[in-house]
Structure 1
Amino acid sequence: MTNVNAIITYAEKHCKKHGMCLTTQRKQVLISLAQSKTALTVYKIIALYKQLFNENIAAMSVYRILEFLENEKFIHKLQLTNKYIICTHIATDHDHHKSQFLICSMCDLVKEINFEKSLISKIKQGMKTANFVLSNTQLEIHCICNTCINKIA
């Protein structure tokens, strides 16, 4: 979803419905993530925030805001890279516990996808055979996007 206004409208309604407040800073961090085409570290979020809103924001504030936004399922944290990205299904009834991410190793473009349950079941079966148990179905797959492939071709 790239419509920032729709994202903010949804987030405001969600927060109001659940008795929470989408503060100005929370909204601005969410806008920063919504406008980025790549996953961002906290310090890149701070820089983009400064660029977009001509205001400084403390790193600790950003961490607290990101925790809130993640708990409300507005964003995802990519565990392997410690970066954050807007949920592409933010205004839908999408199951947020089953997301998989394709991450371009060259340009950091991230695409949120959902594998079929049968594929996740096959992965679980393979892990069981290897005496492991899948503890989190969030998969982060590093690959190269077509744009970057075309640049090197």
Structure 2
Amino acid sequence: MTGSQDIARVLDQAHSICAEQGARLTEKRKRVLQVVLESPEPLSAYQIADQYRDNHGQTLSVMSVYRMLNFLKENELVHRLETTNQYLPCSHITCKHDHEVPQFLICDECHGVNEVGIRKEILQELSANIEDTGFTLARQQIEFHGICNTCRKADA
């Protein structure tokens, strides 16, 4: 995310989203979200705690950061990358339309992440195929690791 005006707009929208859902975006939660928004790459809870301390001169325990991240995740403001245990902002906070199920393309060189939608029909078919084996899915998040176009071109 770039620009303080863009971040302020996203934080205002995040506040509205929480209010619509009967949740409260406290100042500390808002600041944690801001740390995630300002980062060019996904962050761990430890990195967020360090950045929070550097930005705001206050210490947050990592457990507090995890609780705040869970709140932000439940309100669809951040995503957790399962394979790396890192967090990134939802790219659709300011959108007003329905979105496809988010999936993530993770570059193993620059650590950039691209959030892409997967059509619900494809995910439903995949889920049905999985359930046919007797396996029960706990989550429907797909993460693909590879090399992004920018890094691939730089390596060429």
TM range (shorter): 0.7 to 0.9
Query: How many residues are paired up?
Result: 152
TM-score, normalisation: structure 2: 0.82
TM-score (norm 1): 0.84
8 Å CA contact 2:99–2:117 kept in 1: the answer is no
3-state SS of the aligned residue for 1:64?
Answer: helix
2:119 to 116, 120, 127: 116
Shift of 1:95: 4.2
User: 1:90 deviation in Å?
Assistant: 1.3
1:67 aligns with 2:70: yes
Matching of residues 74-153 of structure 1 within 5 Å: 74-92=77-95, 93-95=97-99, 98-121=101-124, 123-124=126-127, 127=130, 132=135, 134-153=137-156
Match of 1:52 in 2: 55
1:20 aligns with 2:36: no
- C-alpha displacement at 1:122, in angstroms? 5.3
Q: Distance in 1 between matches of 2:112 and 2:76?
A: 20
* Residue identity opposite 1:145 in structure 2: C
Q: How far, CA to CA, are the matches of 1:21 and 1:39 in structure 2?
A: 24
User: 24, 41, 44: which is aligned to 1:38?
Assistant: 41
Distance 1:91 1:109 in 2: 21
Indicate conservation of the 8 Å contact 2:80/2:88, yes or no: yes
The C-alpha deviation readout for 1:114-144, integer Å capped at 9, x for no partner, is: 1234543554465467665655331111111
How far did residue 57 of structure 1 move?
A: 1.6
State the 1:6 CA deviation. Answer: 1.6
Tell whether the 8 Å contact from 1:99 to 1:137 is kept in structure 2 after alignment: no
CA contact (8 A) 1:102 1:142 kept: yes
Q: Is the 1:37–1:110 contact (alpha carbons within 8 Å) kept by the matching residues of 2? A: no
Could you tell me which runs of 5 or more consecutive residues in structure 1 were left unpaired when the two chains were aligned: none
The AA in structure 2 aligned to 1:108 is H
Aligned counterparts of 1:64 and 1:121: Cα–Cα separation in 2: 30
Percent sequence identity is 34
Question: Structure 2: how far apart are the matches of 1:115 and 1:19?
Answer: 29
Q: What SS class does the counterpart of residue 104 from structure 2 fall into?
A: strand
Provide the aligned C-alpha RMSD in A: 2.3
